[in-house]
């Protein structure tokens, strides 16, 4: 295969060539492209799809006034340039038929086969479903398309071509719509193209989005690049000739080309490094394409002898390829006149993959081992999308996790067995654990980085050796969501926490309902299945657990549910909307005669202890039902709940389990003399009392002889706290010690 030219103009934003219609004519652009690689029978199928689509879109025109069929034909032309297979081209011509005409998926299946119908279905929007907002509708469309992509990557290839042509013809849209579409493109579609390694489409989508999002900046940089092109043309030519001559002297056959950075990458470098255009020297780079991998390293040595390399500016993407399969040697050199120049060295096969990514599978009928590895990596990424989808509660959450997973920058770390794993930039040990396996992530308790113990929140760097330590009893911590960056880790943590909260809330709801039934002199075991089914129909609930979860979360009143389970006449009144206030008063009265709920301290997320007063066993307490938070425990004298005490519907009688073993947090304020070693003495006293320090802070010194120190400590109960405070009072220079139950913004109901 002849060496491919790597030259790309900075004006990569090419206008869409108008397709010659009809597309099935002998001299049309589409026909000429198809004849390069398809058989006559395949071309005949494409013509059939064109005629079918043309008839379906009859009378429809684009905003520009062109017949609508010109758009699917242009999309098919983009894909034909990539040598995509016949079913993909058929789907490209038919991709808007189901969405915009009366044609059904079944009709397409009957005419062109099930494979084509599935591709078209994955590309069709969900227009017939009503959503709460345009954002949710768009998120659901993305979700459907990405899930279809996980089954067949050709769905996204058609969608990328579709988006590219839409961006090429975006001038006819209004300003606001142009910006909305451009923002969506640079947020979602350009990163997907990058993730799949399709650089040609990726750079065009970036530059087109840049053009419509920041038209003034785009024009300024475009003019500056044109001016620089003229000023630097002679220098670039000399460097190119010098590189070519040096390689020829070493008898290395190579194709050497100059390369301009695309406009958006120049803009990103200017904003990222806060520099002006004149300070960016690597607007031009050089690409060296050789025959094979060993020759890449030989060429690198030759170039390093020609121009000195800049330390720290060498990257070996051949030994450690990017996640999208990209391979090259990157080196920045001191060129003539001290000007830095970037050189990329790669083999022809690497170049094919760098330009076409996963599409290289169709474009180059090669048995290259790296191309097979790229397909496997892409498949693994698509499978991660399925994992994220299964753990996400709704479309917006799925889209959020998916966008997080499109990080362009990556770090490469090693497992204890030497396997390389690619993670998003900024990834922590928890991200690594979930990348290894979901169960490893859920059970991780510690990590060794380069054979030394480190916190789980530690950010990983290139070359780190990472070993995760797990425990069968461990479970995800909500605090992990503050620092994980990968979509998979975030989705699995959220799913686990939601499942745990639902299970715990349902258990609490069952206890509350049972107590309400007993207060009405009804044995919970006497409530038969028929009554439960009737209640579920009345509430529109899926199952019994949903009702119990709602009770535990405070969304339903336990006494009302008990009444509706046992009293048929009252159920009938509720159906007719005649449930009067007398029944509500009765429910409130019954609520006051319920048995108290025992708080063990191990109820997990269904029972929360208020941060404003931090109750501990031994404190008189009240339980307040808070929607979405469940049962929140306050001390009976907490100022934050003073106004709610007058509303009996809001609170429940609760009591401590005398055998509870849990540790509880308590805030202490200590006034001490400003003496050396006081903190050490206090810490020692807390440890001697069998307590732990959770947090400590000190007020800024004001020059006085005394200072205030604030501790959050862990104790078992009030007796334990009293013992701790007695020990601390014995410390010399201890002036005052008080328990603090919250202040300022914390004085509110939880």
With 0-12 / 13-18 / 19 or more C-beta atoms within 10 angstroms meaning exposed / middle / buried, residue 633 is buried
Separation of alpha carbons 588 and 647, rounded Å: 10
User: Do 557 and 586 touch, CB atoms closer than 8 A?
Assistant: no
Contacts of 76 (CB under 8 A, 6+ apart): 23, 30, 46, 50, 89, 92, 93
182 domain-assigned: no
Q: What is the rounded CA–CA span in Å between residue 338 and residue 269?
A: 20
Same domain? For 432 and 546 the reply is no
Sheet order of strands, 444-449 included: 452-454, 444-449, 466-470
The CA distance from 89 to 46, in Å, is: 7
Q: Does 581 lie in the same domain as 444?
A: no
Please tell me the distance from the alpha carbon of residue 158 to that of residue 89, in angstroms, as a whole number.
8
Same domain, 359 and 378: no
DSSP H helix total and E strand total for the chain:
29, 19
Calculate the alpha carbon distances from 542 to 40, 234, 535, 545, 606 in Å: 55, 74, 11, 8, 21
Q: Are residues 533 and 580 in the same domain?
A: yes
Q: What is the Cα–Cα distance from 449 to 537, expressed in whole angstroms?
A: 55
Specify if 470 maps to a domain.
Answer: yes
Identify whether residues 243 and 325 lie together within a single domain. Answer: yes
Q: What is the pTM of this model?
A: 0.60
The CATH number for 443's domain is 3.10.20.30
Q: What is the 3-state secondary structure (H, E, C) of 183-228?
A: HHHHHHHHHHHHHCCCHHHHHHHHHHHHHHHCHHHHHHHHHHHHHH
Choose between 17 and 486: higher pLDDT. 486
- Point out the catalytic residue in the list 99, 171, 187, 439: 99
Q: CA-CA distance, 340 to 331, in Å (whole number)? A: 10
- Same structural domain for residues 383 and 510? no
What pLDDT is attached to residue 728? 93
For residue 344, is it within any domain?
A: yes
Token pair recorded at residue 145: 């398309």
Rounded CA gap, 330 and 313, in Å? 8
What was the pLDDT predicted at 466?
Answer: 93
Cα–Cα distance for residue pair 392/161, rounded to 1 Å: 28
For residue 402, tell me if it sits in a domain.
yes
Res 729: pLDDT? 92
Higher pLDDT, 75 or 583: 75
Same domain, 359 and 379: no
Q: How far apart are CA 67 and CA 58, in angstroms?
A: 8
My answer on whether 245 and 343 are in the same domain is yes
* pLDDT (average), residues 417-441: 88
5: confidence class by pLDDT, cuts 50, 70, 90: very low
DSSP string, 139-190: HHHHHHHHHHHHH-THHHHHHHHHHHHHHHTGGGS-HHHHHHHHHHIIIIIH
Q: Is pLDDT above 70 for 239?
A: yes
Domain boundary residue, one of 125, 143, 168: 168
Confidence of residue 6 (pLDDT cuts 50, 70, 90): very low
Alpha helix stretches (DSSP H) within 472-608: 487-519, 529-539, 544-552, 558-566, 568-575, 581-591
β-pairing verdict for 329-334 and 340-347: antiparallel
CATH number of domain containing 256 = 3.30.460.10
Q: Is 84 left (phi over 0), alpha (psi -120 to 50) or beta?
A: beta
Q: Vertex 167, ends 162 and 170: CA angle to 5°?
A: 125
DSSP letter at 423 equals E
**Which residue is listed with tokens 């979930």?**
434
Catalytic residue among 66, 81, 85, 100: 100
pLDDT for the residue 429: 93
Nearest-CA neighbor of 655 among 590, 607, 722? Answer: 607
Same domain, 520 and 641: yes
Query: CA–CA separation, 338 vs 346, rounded Å?
Result: 25
Q: What is the pLDDT of residues 632-651, one digit of tens each?
A: 888 888 887 777 666 666 67
Instruction: Output the domain CATH number for residue 143.
Output: 1.10.3210.10
Is 62 a member of any domain?
A: yes
Q: Domain boundary residue among 460, 485, 510?
A: 485
Distance CA 73, CA 54 (A): 10
Confidence category of residue 404, pLDDT binned at 50, 70, 90: low
Are 505 and 635 found together in one domain?
yes
Residue 254 structural domain:
223-367
Q: Say what the alpha-carbon torsion angle 271, 276, 277, 278 is, to the nearest 10 degrees.
A: -150
| pLDDT score at 289 | 93
Q: Between the CA of residue 603 and those of 56, 362, 606, 726, what are the distances in Å? A: 61, 56, 6, 31
Domain end, chosen from 367, 399, 420, is at 367
Residue 506 included in any domain: yes
Q: How far apart are the first and last CA of the chain?
A: 70
Give Dmax (Cα) for the chain.
101
* pLDDT tens, residue by residue, 674-693: 888 888 899 999 988 989 88
Residues 272 and 231 in one domain: yes
- Pick the more confident residue, 257 or 146: 257
Residue 491 lies in a domain: no
- Angle between helix 154-168 and 175-184 (nearest 10): 150
Same domain for 508 and 633, yes or no, is yes
How many independent structural domains does the chain possess? 5
Q: Is residue 397 domain-resident?
A: yes
Active-site residue, 99 included: yes
334-343, 598-607, 733-742: which is most confident? 733-742
Q: What is the pLDDT of residues 143-165, one digit of tens each?
A: 666 666 667 778 888 989 999 99
Q: Looking at residues 221-238, what average pLDDT do you find?
A: 77
Q: Helix H segments across 274-321? A: 293-306
């Amino acid at each position: 295969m002849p060496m491919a030219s790597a030259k790309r103009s900075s004006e990569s934003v090419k206008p869409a060539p108008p397709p010659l219609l009809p597309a099935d004519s002998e001299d049309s652009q589409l026909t000429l492209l198809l004849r390069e690689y398809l058989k006559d029978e395949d071309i005949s199928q494409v013509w059939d799809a064109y005629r079918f689509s043309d008839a379906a879109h009859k009378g429809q025109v684009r905003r520009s006034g062109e017949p609508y069929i010109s758009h699917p034909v242009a999309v098919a032309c983009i894909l034909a340039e990539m040598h995509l297979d016949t079913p993909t081209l058929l789907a490209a011509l038919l991709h808007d038929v189901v969405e915009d005409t009366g044609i059904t998926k079944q009709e397409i299946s009957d005419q062109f086969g099930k494979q084509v119908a599935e591709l078209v279905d994955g590309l069709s929007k969900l227009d017939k479903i009503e959503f709460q907002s345009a954002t949710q509708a768009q998120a659901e469309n993305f979700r459907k398309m990405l899930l279809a992509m996980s089954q067949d990557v050709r769905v996204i290839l058609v969608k990328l071509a579709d988006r590219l042509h839409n961006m090429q013809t975006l001038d006819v849209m209004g300003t606001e719509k142009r910006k909305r579409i451009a923002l969506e493109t640079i947020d979602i579609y350009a990163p997907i193209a990058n993730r799949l390694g399709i650089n040609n489409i990726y750079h065009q989508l970036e530059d087109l989005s840049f053009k419509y999002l920041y038209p003034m900046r785009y024009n300024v940089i475009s003019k500056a690049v044109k001016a620089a092109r003229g000023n630097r043309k002679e220098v670039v030519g000399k460097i190119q000739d010098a590189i070519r001559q040096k390689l020829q002297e070493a008898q290395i056959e190579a194709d050497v080309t100059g390369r301009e950075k695309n406009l958006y990458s120049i803009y990103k470098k200017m904003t990222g490094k806060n520099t002006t255009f004149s300070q960016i020297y690597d607007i031009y780079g050089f690409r060296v394409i050789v025959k094979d991998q060993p020759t890449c390293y030989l060429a690198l040595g030759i170039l390093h002898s020609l121009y000195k390399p800049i330390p720290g500016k060498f990257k070996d993407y051949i030994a450690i390829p990017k996640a999208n399969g990209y391979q090259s040697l990157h080196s920045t050199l001191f060129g003539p006149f001290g000007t830095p120049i970037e050189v990329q060295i790669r083999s022809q096969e690497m170049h094919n993959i760098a330009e076409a990514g996963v599409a290289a599978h169709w474009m180059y009928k090669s048995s290259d081992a790296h191309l097979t590895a790229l397909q496997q990596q892409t498949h693994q990424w698509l499978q991660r999308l399925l994992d994220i989808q299964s753990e996400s509660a709704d479309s917006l959450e799925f889209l959020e996790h998916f966008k997080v997973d499109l990080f362009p920058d990556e770090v490469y770390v090693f497992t204890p067995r030497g396997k390389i794993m690619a993670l998003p930039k900024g990834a922590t040990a928890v991200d690594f654990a979930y990348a290894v396996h979901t169960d490893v992530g859920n059970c991780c308790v510690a990590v060794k980085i380069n054979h030394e113990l480190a916190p789980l929140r530690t950010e990983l760097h290139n070359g780190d050796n990472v070993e995760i330590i797990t425990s069968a009893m461990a479970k995800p911590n909500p605090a992990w969501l503050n620092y994980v960056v990968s979509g998979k880790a975030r989705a699995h943590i959220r799913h686990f926490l939601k499942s745990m909260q639902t299970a715990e809330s349902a258990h609490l709801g069952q206890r509350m309902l049972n107590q309400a039934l007993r207060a009405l002199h009804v044995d919970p075991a006497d409530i038969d299945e028929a009554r439960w089914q009737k209640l579920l129909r009345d509430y529109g609930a899926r199952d019994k657990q949903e009702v119990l979860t709602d009770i535990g979360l405070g969304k339903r009143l336990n006494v009302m549910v008990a009444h509706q389970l046992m009293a048929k006449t009252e159920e009938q009144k509720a159906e007719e909307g005649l449930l009067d206030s007398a029944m509500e008063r009765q429910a409130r009265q019954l609520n006051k005669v319920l048995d108290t709920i025992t708080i063990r301290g191990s109820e997990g997320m269904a029972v929360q202890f208020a941060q404003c007063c931090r109750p501990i066993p031994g404190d008189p307490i009240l339980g307040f039902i808070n929607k979405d938070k469940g049962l929140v425990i306050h001390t009976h004298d907490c100022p934050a709940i003073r106004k709610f005490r007058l509303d009996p519907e809001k609170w429940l009688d609760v009591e401590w389990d005398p055998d509870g073993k849990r540790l509880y947090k308590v805030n202490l304020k200590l006034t001490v003399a400003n003496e050396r070693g006081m903190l050490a003495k206090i810490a020692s006293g807390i440890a001697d009392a069998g307590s732990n320090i959770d947090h400590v802070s000190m007020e800024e010194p004001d020059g006085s002889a005394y200072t205030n120190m604030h501790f959050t400590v862990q104790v078992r109960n009030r007796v334990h706290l009293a013992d701790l405070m007695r020990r601390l009072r014995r410390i010399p220079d201890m002036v005052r010690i008080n328990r603090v139950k919250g202040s300022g913004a914390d004085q509110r109901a939880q």
